[in-house]
Structure 1
Amino acid sequence: MTTAIQPHAPDASTGDLHLLSILESGLPAELGTADEPATYTVPVVFSRQVGRDERARIEDPATARRLAEQIGATGPPLRLAVSDRRLLVENTNLDQLRDGLAAALAAMLRDLGGELRAASDERAVAADARVVEERRRSDATHAAVSTIRFE
């Protein structure tokens, strides 16, 4: 069974990575008992497979530090790890997620999607410029070659 962590899903038309729900079966069995740990790993389901660049940014320790600072987390350092289609939010708890970490994670992924789209757009523009320049160079070479006669 899973529990939603967002009141509504982001616009899936962008293809951006977002979080869908907490995987309840991955939570510690001690939750709600006297033996409940203060922090633990919370598995959260991604909307799709995570790309290489996305994974690198998500798992960068600086990302977890920024999130922890945003929510004022204390205790063991927050850590983010990608495992298949799950985000493992380590050294946290359901209260932290409810009280701001879930929203901070969603915002981080929205920002990440925008940044990666912008970088991709820049690469596409640069590639188009290289194609245009290569075509210009090829046309100029062809024009120069066509003026030469071996008569």
Structure 2
Amino acid sequence: MTTTVPLHAPDATSDDLHLLSILESGLPGQIGTPDEPATYTVPAVFSRQVTRDERARIEDPETARRLAEQSGAPTTGPALRLVVSDRRLLIENTSLDRLRDGLAAALAAMLRDLGGDLRAARDERAVAAEAREVEERRRSDATHAAVSTIRFE
């Protein structure tokens, strides 16, 4: 049986990428025992499929470095690493305590910022495409007007 633990109440009106829950069945069985590892991989479930651009930003080592820094993760030991696997985010070299103590909030903020950045870039591309279309209509109209003045009489 697969158990997930909700991370937050998602905004149902938003199609921005966010994390829904931790996949509890993907956690190491040693959690809560004397053999619990200091760090491990925590699988979290995305709200939807990740795009190529989102994946590139999420998996960029600089993103993990900033998140670790923002959340106060220790500077010793293996570095935090983020890996997208289908609709899951594998948060490597962390723990549930680190997520609870700030990393989960930092991840949520990073995904909100990522969504805003990608929306802004998409809007800029749309404005540029509209400007090219207007210019092409202007050019076409000017060409048509020039052609219509020519008579072969």
Pick the TM interval, shorter chain: over 0.9
C-alpha distance in structure 2 between counterparts of 1:19 and 1:73, whole Å? 20
User: What's the counterpart of residue 34 of structure 1?
Assistant: 34
Tell me which of 124, 127, 132 is aligned to 1:125: 127
C-alpha distance in structure 2 between counterparts of 1:150 and 1:43, whole Å? 74
Question: How does 1:18-97 map onto structure 2 within 5 Å?
Answer: 18-74=18-74, 75-97=77-99
C-alpha distance in structure 2 between counterparts of 1:30 and 1:148, whole Å? 85
Give a deviation string over 1:40-77, Cα, whole Å, max 9, x none: 00000000000000000000000000000001111310
TM-score, structure 1 as length reference: 0.96
C-alpha distance in structure 1 between counterparts of 2:71 and 2:22, whole Å? 19
Q: Identity over the aligned pairs, expressed in percent?
A: 81
C-alpha distance in structure 2 between counterparts of 1:14 and 1:22, whole Å? 20
User: What's the counterpart of residue 110 of structure 2?
Assistant: 108
Residues 1:144 and 2:146 aligned together: yes
C-alpha distance in structure 2 between counterparts of 1:106 and 1:51, whole Å? 17
Stretches of structure 1 that go unaligned for 5 or more consecutive residues are none
Q: Secondary structure at the match of 1:50?
A: coil
C-alpha distance in structure 2 between counterparts of 1:97 and 1:14, whole Å? 23
1:73 is matched by which residue type in structure 2?
Answer: A
On the 8 A contact 2:55/2:84 being kept in 1, the answer is yes
On the 8 A contact 2:72/2:102 being kept in 1, the answer is no
On the 8 A contact 2:19/2:45 being kept in 1, the answer is yes
C-alpha distance in structure 1 between counterparts of 2:4 and 2:123, whole Å? 35
Aligned-residue Cα RMSD (Å) equals 0.7
1:113 is matched by which residue type in structure 2?
Answer: G
**CA shift at 1:14, angstroms?**
2.8
Stretches of structure 2 that go unaligned for 5 or more consecutive residues are none
**CA shift at 1:119, angstroms?**
0.4
C-alpha distance in structure 1 between counterparts of 2:72 and 2:103, whole Å? 10
Give a deviation string over 1:56-112, Cα, whole Å, max 9, x none: 000000000000000111131000000000000000000000011000000000000
- What is the number of equivalent residue pairs in this alignment? 149
**CA shift at 1:13, angstroms?**
2.1
TM-score, structure 2 as length reference: 0.95
